[in-house]
Structure 1
Amino acid sequence: MSGAATISRVCVIGAGVMGAGIAAQVANAGVPVLLLDVVRDPADRSAVARGAVERMLKTDPAPFMSKAAARLVETGNIEDDLAKVADCDWIIEAIVERLDLKQALYAKIEDHRHEGAIVSSNTSSIPLDRLVEGRSEGFRRNFLITHFFNPPRYMRLIELVSGTGSDPAQVARIADFADRALGKSVVRAKDTPGFIANRIGTFWIQAAMNAAFDLGVSVEEADAIAGRPMGVPKTGVFGLADLVGIDLLPHLKASLLATLPEDDPYRAIARDEGLIGRMIADGFTGRKGKGGFYRLSADGQRRKEVLDLASGEYRAAAKAPSLPGKAGSGDLAALLALPGKAGAYAWAVLGPTLAYAASLVPAIADDIAAVDAAMKLGYNWKWGPFELIDRIGADRLAARLEGEGKAVPDLLRLAGGRTFWRVEGWKRQFLGLDGDYHDLVRPEGVLLLDDIKLAGAPVMKSGSAVLWDAGDGVLVLEFTGKMNALDGEVMALIGKAIPLVAARHKALVVYNEGSNFSAGANLGLALFALNIAAWGEVEKLVVAGQQAYKALKYAPFPVVSAPSGLALGGGCEILLHSDAIQAHAESYIGLVECGVGLVPGWGGCGEMIDRWRKNPAMPKGPMPAVSKVFETISTATVAKSAAEAKELGFLRPTDGVTMNRDRLLADAKARALQLAEGYVPPEPPQFRLPGPSGKAALMMAVEGFRARGLATPYDEVVAARLADVLTGGEADPVDVVSEEDMLGLEHRAFMALVRDPRSLARVEHMLETGKPLRN
């Protein structure tokens, strides 16, 4: 981590939501951080910063990846502790958006910062040159804008803006640290109002809201049309406003209007809706307020209600309209061609927004790649503006704009019948401002499966999994089902892959670039089998999973799993059977089978006991490790980060954590190649388990939870089956329980529970609602 190693301590000044969140992410990276704010209480001078840390420890979703990270945050105040910035390599200003206050703070910082320390602002509205007016050349050379997106832990985008006097080496230093240590995707933006994402995003929101009012489109209709069909998160526009806060919209608008050129198209659409003003005044600011465009009814029934844009009154939410044919599945030409207000609304949102984005290059960024990246990372769009234009057709978009008497951006004319993006010579290329195509160059150390797929066909494929060649003797196993769920086809492909890797390759990496590593076994298929009492099919899958995972564990080559997002149930168990795990920091790992009335069936119980009994902090004897694993599995505990996964035993102390999602595959591949040198498969474990007396002790605790109303009657039944597995069944504490014995115990417990109608009810409820049934 070349640049990251040069940042050993950070200071964040401003402990509001953004500043505190930035400090938390620095701490998540394992870097000490000083958090300062103003003095509001003379009796407790650092209360503001300390209170921010205390709030973050209670916030959900959590800004900290673990409580241990919070201990890396030192709190203080600007009046007493500003001299401490002398020990910091990067000083981030995140105070209120007032130029005079920022400039006054910089003057004080300049008195204390050490030579070579970088100062940056998290501003999104004040030009860099104005921020550094009156500062020395040395200060200006080390000054940048680093625009984080909220919440800083979860939003991957940083817009990095440098000035004419900024030292390129310092720009690169911060870019490298933000990338490798903080896990951010760094997009270089120009010093223009709103930079990239908010410049286009604010226009898009305004255009979408204006059109809904003008065309008589309801909130539900607007979000259904301008949401998933356009590659926008399901919140759509009005749901997004509720999420970020409706009261933020006037501030974004005012900020842009104060700095945009007089002829900017945003000025023509920026308008105030009286209804929105009244909502803000009355406290209806979205999820953080009394409600927003959506709310839950106040009658105790908590039914979903929606704001009627015409009357300003709430009504019961209607079912979101389904769009016909290809219009709802990403075919934008079909969407725009829909008759009536659906097609008209789609055009009223997409047409002006895409034309606006095209008109801003190169003013806001050097190329279209930066624009597309910023919108995908900052607003979670599936496709960037120029990818959207390609889905419509640049010529078709230009012709419609021209036909309506609207300006056609030069960039659209430059495309001239071509696409903005293409694949050529196994590489992604984008259309440059010079009219030629240019390779999309990944940062050093970034390896994406999407790029590997451009180079050729898969090595092997089934309906639910694919095997790819990542080069250097490493194959990649990718799950491809919905939510990357696991089924018999995955297990069959694993069985075929093992002899292939053993004969011709060095190692296997289990990895994919979906939102989630794997949600576990395919519950839909399982439910179908259960409903027709196809017990033999269920049993066949249990056996197939056990055999496949143990075959991976004892293969004559190393297996490295690289999760990101959810890795639940069977998805967690494949991690547990791997030689090593290289986890993305945002990995959410757990054995959650008890939540659907089952127990882990693919070897997870034995693997977890084996991990905990090898933990140096675990007391010796058969009971401590079993108790710890029972507590974790019976409560379906899910680690909310890779750091928490280490605390819960899902990851070993030696397993790696990658902060930047784009670097995960490269890191996992490197780990696999490292293990391949002189690799020897592990020896099968042997267990000494507490037996029936241990089970009785575990069940006493469960009975106590039930007596207090913390466990349901069926929780007790499931827990008893789990306890039987973990304690070794009828084994005596002096007996040796083999790994095969453990698999047999899991098998029997799983098949007993799967035949119980109460488990069937839990599976059905989970599939219908996404929530556990408390029966």
Structure 2
Amino acid sequence: MANNTIKKVCVIGAGTMGAGIAAQVANAGIPVLLLDILPKEGDNRNAVAEGAVAKMLKTEPAPFMGKRAAKLVETGNIEDHLGKVAECDWVVEAIIERLDIKQDLYAKLEAVRTPGTAVSSNTSTIPLAQLTDGRSDAFKQDFLITHFFNPPRYMRLIEIVAGPHSNAETVARVSDFVDRKLGKSVVDAEDSPGFIANRVGTFWIQASVNAAFDLGVTVEEADEIGGRPMGVPKTGIFGLIDLIGIDLMPHLMKSLTSTLPADDPYVKIARSEKLIEDMIETGYTGRKGLGGFYRINREGGGKVMESKDLKSGEYRAAARPGLVRGPAAKGDLGALIEAPGKVGAYAWAVLGPTLAYAASIVPEATKSVVGVDDAMKLGYNWKMGPFEMIDRIGAAKLREKLEASDIPVPAILQQVGDQTFYRIENGKRQYFGTDGAYHDVERAEGVLLLEDIKLASEPLMKNSSAALWDVGDGVVALEFTGKMNALDGEVMKLIQKAIPLVKSDYKALVVYNEGSNFSAGANLGLALFALNIAAWSEVEKSIRGGQDAYKALKYAPFPVVSAPFGLALGGGCEILLNSDAIQAHAETYTGLVETGVGIIPGWGGCGEMLSRWADNPRQPKGPMPAVSKVFEIVSTATVAKSAAEAKDVGFLRHTDQITMNRDRLLHDAKQRALAMVDGYEAPEKPEYRLPGPTGKAALDLAVDSFHKQGKATDHDVTVAGELAYVLSGGDTDMIDTVTEAQMLKLEVEAFMRLARNPKSQARVEHMLETGKPLRN
């Protein structure tokens, strides 16, 4: 190829995985050709691929980040359109896991592809050497395995396997593309059965199931012991099997046992249970079937969670065992495996063999312990990788218990001795290598992580809810540190202190953190406490304090760039709206959701949204269109389900930028801020032309119609009325202008009226207790 860019991709195979890969390519703004076989019936020869796209547009969670992305998918069939592969720079094969069918396809591809076009298989079971058997040297040079995880949009892991003939430049080009454009974290794997994540993950699942049957542990007990205390998904093992499908278990077992040597530890523990075979045969395959190890019994109009009794095979009401207590419940793995009774017995029966197995596949499956840990954290959502778990337990303690249990101790676990697999040296994280030496954990170019910065520096400022970090080149990062990164008075205080520091000694500020979510909004717990004791002056003080802090950021004499990801709700959304620019991770879910808890946005969100929609070139001019649109968005607590969708809703400007890879977000936000430094001027304060009482009356009529239809509750009407009052400008006349200060004053007044309302207080309390909105 003349250059190293990938401008068009072909995906062959429109099943769940192939279609999902095509959708993620389209999400990146790259045209993609999706091909599949001819349909068994009907005249539409492209029906299979077209049907896959149509299905994805209705699927939740959505494979597409926005409906516009679907337009980038061109559909076709292998018989008529394989020649179009010549237009593509990368071909991804995601068809049935049968070697003969794959090899037949590769023979056809070799005849039509442009030399230099990368070809990869999404296989998770077939060795690369077998896949390319019989192909030319030129084909082998451009061939690799790219193993995505399902669903491709949301799972960050991709395992890449290069063969001995693979061209290093081709592999690097595909790796860079899936990293930067598709947002994946690349883990280099060796050409060994199951690669990394599925090899360890399948062993872990099998060991967990075996131990439950062997030790007489119930489904609920197994999930409690083997779930959160181990730092694996809260579903636990049986909940996870229900989620991925019980019928997948025999396929995984068959594929691995057929390719692994007979003396492999997985082959030795692989076994089927008659109970599970019967469940699959009768359609009890998990959430997608009639039920699984858990099911919801809706007989008699009820809704009872039931679990499968592993002895009798019958369903019974699910229990909450409450067996794991103390340090073990808080992630102390050493305490967990030493706990008395079935807790320690089950924990060890799972962790001991699993950690030993994970250690045994280095360097066979991947060259370093980092590859194993990254694969399990990214592919199976473990909070810690196996070697990080070993460090928690202690390598010496683990070896001792393995020997006592007659479990072979892997070479690298012997080699590490009394040391740890990870250490901090000179402000750098290092890992223990198979050569017996420690090596720095390397980051790809363009990856900047706050966790690395923290190893080598102290915060410039910090308090109980926020911290300020020097991230280099004159840029400071503001980090939220509270639970769920909730926002409170301490955050606002740090913002106010940060502004003179940045003005004096730095160039720009980035709002960023590395929690699970950017921010879930204001600290509702503190708010409810203030409401319960009728501390109205404190409530109003917190609202005004938030407004002052956010506007101080907005009008600071330096660029402010917010870098959201995950949830950015309520006050977390409002800080975005008050920033000069937003560099959003693609998976940002943002919205002004305050009406769900009986209040309205109080930190400037109303005015900022009005400005965005008044400036929207697609919006009709005049005072009412923008007001109506913002009212619709905020009153319904609309949440954009991606950064792309956030642009359509107006939470992001169309000039704001999107980062696909979460690990690149801070670097990209920093570069965006630095690009704005020269000639920077703070924005002018806006003035609004708003419709006043006549506009509010029109909005009230719309709400009243929803109320009469039963789509809005009594308190919805009250909350919407206050929102309408603010957005229409209060008692202003249509010929007057409303200043930003007046808008903020209206927000405070309406907020306080709602805060005093017992129904709003009930909504706040209900949200805190249940995590769900109260419809009162």
TM-score tier by shorter-chain length is over 0.9
**Contact 1:4 / 1:176 at 8 angstroms: preserved in 2?**
no
Q: Determine the structure 2 residue equivalent to 1:241.
A: 241
Residue type at the aligned position of 1:747: V
Report the Cα distance in structure 2 between the residues aligned to 1:175 and 1:363, rounded to whole angstroms. 21
CA-atom RMSD in angstroms? 1.1
Residue of structure 2 equivalent to 1:39:
38
- Tell me whether 579-588 or 706-715 shows the greater mean CA deviation: 706-715
In structure 2, the residue matched to 1:114 is 114
Q: How far does residue 733 in structure 1 lie from its aligned partner after superposition? A: 1.0
**1:7 corresponds to:** 6
- Quote the sequence identity (%): 69
The equivalent residue for 2:211 is 211
Partner of 1:155: 155
User: Counterparts of 2:241 and 2:690 in 1: how far apart (Å)?
Assistant: 54
Q: Which residue of 2 aligns with 1:57?
A: 57
Give the distance between the partners of 2:135 and 2:150, measured in 1 at CA: 29
Aligned to 1:476: 477
SS at structure 1 position matched to 2:144: strand
Residue type matched to 2:440 in 1? D
1:17 counterpart letter in structure 2: T
Letter in 1 for 2:24: Q
Cα distance in 2 for partners of 1:295, 1:405 equals: 38
Structure 2 residue runs without a partner (length 5+): none
Aligned to 2:720: 719
Structure 1 counterpart of 2:73: 73
Aligned to 1:198: 198
Distance 1:628 1:303 in 2: 41
1: CA distance, partners of 2:530 / 2:73? 52
Indicate if the aligned counterparts of 2:207 and 2:349 stay in contact, CA closer than 8 A: yes
Q: What is the identity, as a one-letter code, of the residue corresponding to 1:522?
A: N
Q: Residues 301-316 of structure 1 correspond to what in structure 2 (within 5 A)?
A: 301-316=302-317
Q: What's 1:694 paired with?
A: 695
**Equivalent residue, structure 2, for 1:771:** 772
1:646/1:320 CA distance change after superposition, 3 Å: farther
Per-residue CA deviation, residues 412-461 of structure 1 (Å, 9 max, x unaligned), is 11001000000101000000111100000000000000001001211111
1:322/1:328 contact within 8 Å kept: no
The CA distance in 2 between the partners of 1:325 and 1:773, in whole Å, is 34
- The change in CA–CA distance for 1:322 and 1:668 in structure 2 (over 3 A counts) is farther
Q: Write out aligned runs for 1:355-754 (5 A).
A: 355-754=356-755
1:394 partner amino acid: A
Q: How far is the alpha carbon of 1:618 from its aligned partner?
A: 1.2
Matched, 1:184 2:184: yes
Structure 1 residues 559 and 3: CA distance shift in structure 2, 3 A = farther
Shift in Å at residue 313 of structure 1? 1.1
The AA in structure 2 aligned to 1:412 is L
Of 320-329 and 249-258, deviating more is: 320-329
User: 8 Å contact 2:323–2:343 — kept in the other structure?
Assistant: no
CA separation of 1:263/1:436 partners in 2, compared to 1, >3 Å: closer, same or farther? same
In 1, the alpha carbon distance for the partners of 2:623 and 2:81 equals 51
Of the structure 1 ranges 404-413 and 510-519, higher mean CA displacement relative to structure 2 is found in 404-413
Structure 1: gaps of 5 or more residues: none
* Number of aligned residues: 774
* Structure 1 residue 405, shift from structure 2 partner: 2.5
Cα-to-partner distance string for 1:166-219 (whole Å, 9 max, x where unaligned): 000000000000000000000000011100000000000000011011111111
SS at match of 2:233: coil
Contact 1:3/1:173, CA 8 A, preserved across alignment: no
How far apart, CA to CA, are the structure 2 residues paired with 1:523 and 1:4? 53
Deviations 1:566-616 (CA, angstroms, capped at 9, x unpaired): 000000000000000000000001000001110000000000000111111
Shift of 1:324: 1.9
Q: CA offsets per residue over residues 270-319 of structure 1, 9 Å max, x none?
A: 01011111111111111111111111113122221111111111111112
Q: Which moved more, 1:578-587 or 1:278-287?
A: 278-287
Give a deviation string over 1:338-365, Cα, whole Å, max 9, x none: 1001001000000000001111111001
- Asked if the contact 2:686/2:739 (under 8 Å) is kept, the reply is yes
Distance in 2 between residues matched to 1:480 and 1:668, nearest whole Å: 19
Q: Which residue of 2 aligns with 1:102?
A: 102
CA distance in 1, matches of 2:410, 2:3: 40
Shift of 1:322: 4.8
Q: Which residue of 1 aligns with 2:320?
A: 319
Contact 1:148 1:158 in 2 (8 A): yes
Classify the secondary structure of the residue corresponding to 1:304: strand
Moved over 4 A (4+): 2-5
Q: Deviations over 1:13-43 (max 9, x none)?
A: 1100000000000000000001111111341
Indicate the residue corresponding to 1:139 in structure 2. 139
1:616-646 superposed Cα distances (whole Å, 9 cap, x missing partner): 1111111111111000000000000000000
**Separation in structure 2 between the aligned mates of residue 257 and residue 142 of structure 1, nearest angstrom:** 29
What letter corresponds to residue 346 of structure 1 in structure 2? A
> Is the Cα–Cα contact under 8 Å of residues 489 and 545 in structure 2 kept in the other structure?
yes
In 2, the alpha carbon distance for the partners of 1:548 and 1:325 equals 40
2:373, 2:760 → 1: CA distance? 46
Change (3 A) 1:220 1:489: same
Distance in 1 separating the partners of 2:522 and 2:703: 27
Give the match for residue 25 of structure 2. Answer: 26
Shift of 1:406: 2.2
Distance 2:281 2:538 in 1: 60
Give the SS at the match of 1:6: coil
The 8 Å contact of residues 429 and 438 in structure 1, kept in 2 or not, is answered as yes
TM-score by length of 1: 0.99
Judge conservation of contact 1:3–1:176 (CA < 8 Å) in 2: no
CA distance in 1, matches of 2:3, 2:692: 50
Distance 1:5 1:621, change over 3 A: farther
Aligned-pair CA distance for 1:708: 1.7
| Matching residue of 1:297 | 297
| Paired residues of 2:521 and 2:569 also in contact (CA < 8 A) | yes
Q: Do the aligned partners of 1:3 and 1:174 also contact (CA within 8 Å) in 2?
A: no
1:220-276 deviations in whole A, cap 9, x for unaligned?
111111111111010111111011111111110100011001110011110101111
Secondary structure of 2:684's aligned partner:
coil
Instruction: Give the Cα separation in 1 of the matches to 2:42 and 2:155.
Output: 36
- Conserved? CA contact 1:215–1:345, under 8 Å: yes
* CA–CA separation in structure 1 for the residues paired with 2:546 and 2:220: 43
Partner of 2:281: 281
Quick one: which amino acid aligns to residue 340 of structure 2? P
- Aligned equivalents of 2:438, 2:388: Cα separation in 1: 15
Deviation at 1:382, TM superposition (A): 0.5
Amino acid at match of 2:415: L
Alpha-carbon distance in 2 for matches of 1:552, 1:92: 46
Task: Report the CA distance between 1:4 and its aligned residue.
Answer: 10
Q: Secondary structure at the match of 2:676?
A: helix
1:747-762 matched pairs, under 5 angstroms: 747-762=748-763
